[in-house]
Amino acid sequence: MTESILQNFADAKFLNLILKNPEDLEALEKSAADLAKKLKHKGKRTLLPSYVLLAINPNIKDTEPLLDEVEAIAKSKNKLLLSRSNDRPVTALRAIILSALEILVDSEQKFHEDYAKIIYLTAKESFGYIDFASAEEGKIIEAFIRLLGEKGELFSRRKWKVNMVSFLNEIVTKFELKLTETFPSTNNSFLTSKKIANVKLEQTDSYNRRSVSRIEGINADSFNTWSKEFVKKASSAITGEINNQLKAQNKSINEFSSEISKELNKFTTSLNTFVSNSINNSLSGINALVERDQLNWWKESLYSASKWCSYRAIENPVALAFLMSHDCGALTHPHSPESVDYFLMETFRKVENKEESLSFQEILTALSTADCEWLGEIIPATSETTSIISLPDFLVGFVHGLYTQEDFEKLTYISLAEKIKPAAFCVWLFHYFQSKRLTHGN
């Protein structure tokens, strides 16, 4: 998308109730920038998934607690802007949040992979359970989610590659020492210097100057006098000229030495940076190879290191999905590529090959049974909240007794009658555990 989400919302006339002039849109943009700064704060990062769910869902209630902060920021930019709507302008507040998320991901000319991954993992599955009154709004949000997914996938694929041959070839071919000065060649101009060629002897009583063509007329006494005078003056001129040439040569050598030093420093700095980055990338790739090896062993063994048992011993498919997604998340980096999702689904199907969809009502019922009580000992507890939360976040809270079945639709905005296939449910939980690691910085 070339335009911002706020501009897309404005173009689609979703903000017509409050936008009356260009300054109004500018006020919303400033509000989004301020909210993005707040979300960057370490203490706010754990709330990011709830902000994502607020932003993508047009059906949220205007009493959602997190909207209070967004509204306060917007009013600080333009007190009259939001008052143009009789009700709380939820669409405008959601647009501000979406724009803030956009800024978080792509600000300061840098793509922030962690934020992008958190937003994508939170929004991907939830988006499929949202009813949009406006198809246009759904397309705008879907395009934003898809873009984050594509960029994040490219980043993840790079992290999962190891190519030392390419790395070494690049070192050989990419870097070249370039000097703007060539080494100064020996300058022999002093041999034909005019200062030496024009050495003159003053006429004296003892020597009457003669031209070279009349050299035969010089007697011995006058020649001796001439030679002594010539040697004195010529040697002085030659010595002076040689000194001048040596000084010029030394200056040229010093300049060249300085140029060499500068270019070597530039080259060394560039090479060190490149080698450091390449080594880090290679180590990251090696770690990815280790992860792949662990995943393959995990798939073949079908053994849970967290529960110390075979997955085939888990008869409850909901408990199995929780356990396998948790264990798979522990074996992989949060920025693993999408292929890991399919790897997990196929591994899950090796144990649970039933493709019949489960309703969320049935999932809650399954989690209420005695054979799921052990999940609370393996899955870390989540913080209780009154704001919108993701389906997996609710289920984890449900396991730990924080929520009841009556809270489900109020907090997730998903109907209990909605259904999902077991393997897809396992992947949704896997995304939740990945997102949790990123939001909590581990």
pLDDT tens per residue, range 226-280: 566 666 666 676 777 777 777 766 666 777 677 777 777 777 777 777 677 666 6
Residue 213 has pLDDT above 70, yes or no: no
Q: What angle do CA 255, 261, 264 make, to 5 degrees?
A: 140
Measured distance CA(10)–CA(149) in Å, rounded: 24
Quote the tokens at residue 306.
């967290």
Separation of alpha carbons 51 and 387, rounded Å: 9
In the chain, the N- to C-terminal Cα span, in Å, equals: 31
- In the three-class reduction of DSSP (H, G, I as helix; E, B as strand; rest coil), residue 206 is classed as coil
Q: What are 310's strand-pairing partners?
A: 303
- pLDDT digit string, tens, across residues 149-180: 999 898 888 877 644 454 455 555 554 545 44
Would you say residue 101 has pLDDT above 60? Answer: yes
The pLDDT tens digits for 24-47 are: 888 899 999 999 999 988 777 888
- Specify the pLDDT at position 393: 94
Work out whether strand 106-107 and strand 110-111 pair parallel, antiparallel, or are unpaired.
antiparallel
Dist. CA 270–CA 272, nearest whole Å: 6
Tell which residue, 93, 103, 92, has the closest CA to residue 144: 103
One-character DSSP codes across 229-290? HHHHHHHHHHHHHHHHHHHHHHHHHHHHHHHHHHHHHHHHHHHHHHHHHHHHHHHHHHHHHH
CA distances (Å), 415 to each of 94, 120, 323, 403, 407, in order? 22, 22, 24, 16, 11
CA–CA dist 374, 320 (Å, integer): 12
Q: What is the mean pLDDT of residues 284-309?
A: 88
Residue 49 has pLDDT above 50, yes or no: yes
> What does DSSP say about strands 309-310 and 110-111: parallel, antiparallel, or unpaired?
unpaired
Q: How confident is the model at residue 338 (pLDDT cuts 50, 70, 90)?
A: very high
299-320 mean pLDDT: 95
The pLDDT assigned to 287 comes to 76
- Kindly state the tokens that stand for 150: 């594509």
- Token representation of residue 187: 């300058």
Distances in Å between the alpha carbon of 391 and those of 65, 335, 352, 420? Answer: 18, 21, 21, 12
Mean per-residue pLDDT, 404-417 = 95
pTM for the complete prediction? 0.74
Once rounded to an integer, what is the mean pLDDT over residues 77-90? 79
CA 328 to chain CA centroid, nearest Å? 24
Q: For residue 423, give every residue at least 6 positions away whose Cβ sits within 8 Å of its Cβ, in sequence order, or none.
A: 345, 348, 349, 352, 355
| Average pLDDT, rounded, for the chain | 81
Tokens matching residue 136: 């246009």
CB 324 within 8 A of CB 313: no
CA neighbor of 364 nearest in space, from 411, 313, 306, 330:
411
- With cut-offs at 50, 70 and 90, classify the pLDDT of residue 148: very high
